[in-house]
Structure 1
Amino acid sequence: MNSATRVLESRVFAAPISKVWALVRKADFAFWTSAVASATVENGAAGEVGSTRKITFKDGAVQRYQIVELSDVAFSVTYELIESTPAVATSAAIHTVRLFKVTHDNSTLVQWESDFSSAGDNTTSVVEDSRLKKKEALADLAKALGK
């Protein structure tokens, strides 16, 4: 049986949106130091719709993402998983990172949302793995911001 699942994690950072966007915009996850070993831009330039990223994780997994939407006005980047070694338990995965300015104190709300389509009984494990990784990545973003 196929199912669709959405995972959303968020965090507020005591930093202006421009500073947070500078780390997130390239979608190279350079801030995610606890999990990412290396990241390279392939088939295009950083910050270019259609370009791809090859992310090598410290656990040995290698994934390629394609930037499908990028907005400097809306402070959002959307990317799609196009290849994974080892294979992941989903048939499709689209991720969006959105930033929102909190006007009260010039902080930034970061929302990281993923939509998955999966087959079989893997939905629960996919959701929990995604949730854990997002929390870890957002904690590393906080460290990169010095917060």
Structure 2
Amino acid sequence: MDSATRVQESRVFPHPINVVWNHVRPADFKFWTSAVKETQVEGGLPGEVGSQRKVTFKDGTVQRYQIVELSDLAYFITYEMIESNPPIKSSAALHTIKLRKITHDNSTLVEWESDYSSSGNETASVVEDSRLKKKEALQDLAKALGSK
């Protein structure tokens, strides 16, 4: 039986939206220093819908993502995982990072959502792994921005 699952993590950053967007928009995950070893742009130009990212993680995992939607006006990027070595226990993964301006103090809310389609009993482990990685990545983004 296939099932679909959404994982969402969020965090507020005490920085203007354009400052945070400059770290998120390239989709190179350079801010994610605790997990990402390197990122290469393939199959297009940086910031171009349809371009791909080959992300090599420090644990040896290599994943390839394709940018499927990008908006400088609405401050979001959506990318799809198209390959993973080793394979993950999910048949499909679509990720969106959205930024929202908090007008009260000119800070930024970052929301990171992932929708997974998986088969079998692996859904719980995929969800928990995704949740932990998002929390780690958002912590690293805070460090990259000079936040606590």
**TM-score (structure 1 length as normaliser):** 1.00
After TM superposition, the runs of 4+ consecutive aligned structure 1 residues lying more than 3 A away are: none
- Partner SS, residue 104 of structure 2: coil
Deviation string 1:14-51 (CA, Å, 9 cap, x unpaired) is 00000000000011100000000000100111100000
Counterpart of 1:27 in structure 2 is 27
Find the counterpart in structure 1 of residue 120 from structure 2. Answer: 120
The equivalent residue for 1:133 is 133
Using the alignment, how far apart are the partners of 1:144 and 1:123 within structure 2? 31
TM-score by length of 2: 0.99
Write the distance in 2 (CA, Å) between the matches of 1:107 and 1:137: 18
1:69 CA displacement: 0.0
1:102 is displaced (CA, Å) by 0.3
**What is the RMSD computed on CA atoms of the aligned residues?**
0.3
Q: Which residue number in structure 2 is paired with residue 103 of structure 1?
A: 103
Match of 1:17 in 2: 17
Letter paired with 2:128? E
Identity %: 71
Please tell me the residue identity of whatever aligns with 2:90. Answer: T
How many residues matched? 147
- The one-letter code of the counterpart of 2:88 is V
Question: Where does the alignment leave 5 or more consecutive residues of structure 1 unmatched?
Answer: none
Structure 2: unaligned runs, 5 residues or longer: none
CA distance in 1, matches of 2:23, 2:94: 20
Deviations 1:73-111 (A, max 9, x none): 000000000000000000000000000000000000000
Aligned to 1:70: 70
Residue identity matched to 1:106 = N
TM-fit CA distance, 1:145: 0.1
